[in-house]
Amino acid sequence: MTTRTEEVGPSGLASALITSGALRHDWLPAFGAVPRDMFVPDRIWPGIEDGTRQNPVVDRMKDPEGWFRAVYSDIPLTTQWDDGSHTGDGLGHTPSSSSSRPHMVFSMLKDLDVRDGHRVLEIGTGTGWNAGLLAHRLGEGNVVSVECDPVVAEGAGENLRTAGLSPRLVVGDGRKGHLPGAPYDRVIATCSVREVPRAWVEQTTTGGVIVTPWGTLYGGEAIARLTVQGGTANGRFTRSSAFMRLRQQRADRPPHGAYLKGRPWPADGSRGTTDLSPADVGGWVEQFAVGLRMAGAFWAVERYEDGAYTLWTYSTDTLSWASADYVPGADSFEVVQSGPRRLWDETEAAHLWWEGQGRPGFDRFGLTVDGDGQRAWLDSPDHPVPSAG
């Protein structure tokens, strides 16, 4: 059993983050002065590196060594479920607040590229650790952090005061930014969005930078680094990410029953086959690429004991659906489609386009946000991602 040593603690985590390239030497003083353990509650649910799963609760009062080991591991820690309505030790339905994976925290701060004197707006205070790091680096008066959950905000405030820091904390709707503190040289979100709020762009100085996780309704997510010029924010995605969605932009996905409308499958669907395996659209970047081309569509999986599953794709207007049956080892797969949108045909077209572009990763995609909305592009703003419909 690993004991509480220098290898399991701040020094060990710092060493790992420096080796990975996430933690730069200019952030080392803040890392040392604003320890993560001061910003983590007694009860946490440790995740894995990519944030896709939580492990059972670790209670500091019952297992202090396990708690300390989790805090100084390079993993995300869920700190709240279901907007606070879940209070038991088990897993809730939806994680709603966390302490982000340290590698991601410092990678995003590297993307933010702050300089002395910069004013920063943070969206999503969470436990307060990120706000504390920024306040130590830039000075308390140069950091404003907005949190929509009053209970989470109160906890963050207590953590920051204990650490001897007092950036400006605001309880409110993060989509609106915080106009009284504007303009900001940098804006950073610690929650993901599907639409970059216009207020963030308007409250950022010319030449300023917005760093935010951004994902499609369909799936996939990456960090967007946008530079603001003339009321337009434009830039590339820098790395994969997996953050909790901004609460006001959470998806309202209709239930399965809204589509078949009480009729047994295949209802009025038309049958066919496909050579595209449902497994080939399940990767994070594949979901991202497909989702860029399939607005208003989302998916769900129905799994079976033999490793087979059905990939369901739905339109948000409840008018269209498709099912694709995955069978291990098969070369072709049964598909059923219903409604005005042929959703599996769109999926195939989107995946074929992605393959035709050389299977691009996140760093070849970019985003433009202006008065007309937002547009994703590939390689250049002059090459917007086309719709698959």
Cα(first)–Cα(last) distance of the chain, in Å? 55
Q: How many CB atoms lie within 10 A of CB 328?
A: 10
Model pLDDT for residues 133-143, shown as the tens digit of each residue: 999 999 999 99
CA distance 381 to 234: 8
For residue 88, pLDDT over 90 is answered with no
Does the predicted TM-score (pTM) go above 0.85? Answer: yes
Task: Tell me the pLDDT band of 387, cut-offs 50, 70 and 90.
Answer: confident
162 with 184: CB under 8 angstroms? no
Q: How high is the pLDDT of residue 52? A: 56
Q: Which two tokens stand for residue 121?
A: 């707006």
364 with 294: CB under 8 angstroms? no
Residue labelled with tokens 């479920």? 81
DSSP lists the bridge partners of residue 236 as 366
Q: How high is the pLDDT of residue 59? A: 96
Assess whether 100 carries a catalytic annotation.
yes
CA distance 215 to 196: 10
CA distances to 66, 149, 157, 329 from 127, rounded to whole Å, are: 20, 11, 8, 46
Q: How high is the pLDDT of residue 389? A: 64
240 with 221: CB under 8 angstroms? yes
For residue 89, pLDDT over 90 is answered with no
Q: Provide the CA 327 distance to its chain's centre, in angstroms.
A: 30
Domains defined along the chain, listed by start: 10-240 (3.40.50.150), 257-356 (3.30.160.690)
Model pLDDT for residues 150-181, shown as the tens digit of each residue: 999 999 999 999 999 999 999 999 999 999 99
355 with 334: CB under 8 angstroms? no
Q: How high is the pLDDT of residue 50? A: 58
CA distance 165 to 145: 13
Model pLDDT for residues 256-283, shown as the tens digit of each residue: 999 998 899 899 999 999 999 999 999 9
Query: What is the three-class DSSP state of 99?
Result: strand
CA distance 304 to 302: 7
For residue 51, pLDDT over 70 is answered with no
Name the catalytic one among 96, 97, 100, 323: 100
Q: How high is the pLDDT of residue 388? A: 74
Q: How high is the pLDDT of residue 49? A: 63
Q: Which two tokens stand for residue 103?
A: 């590698």
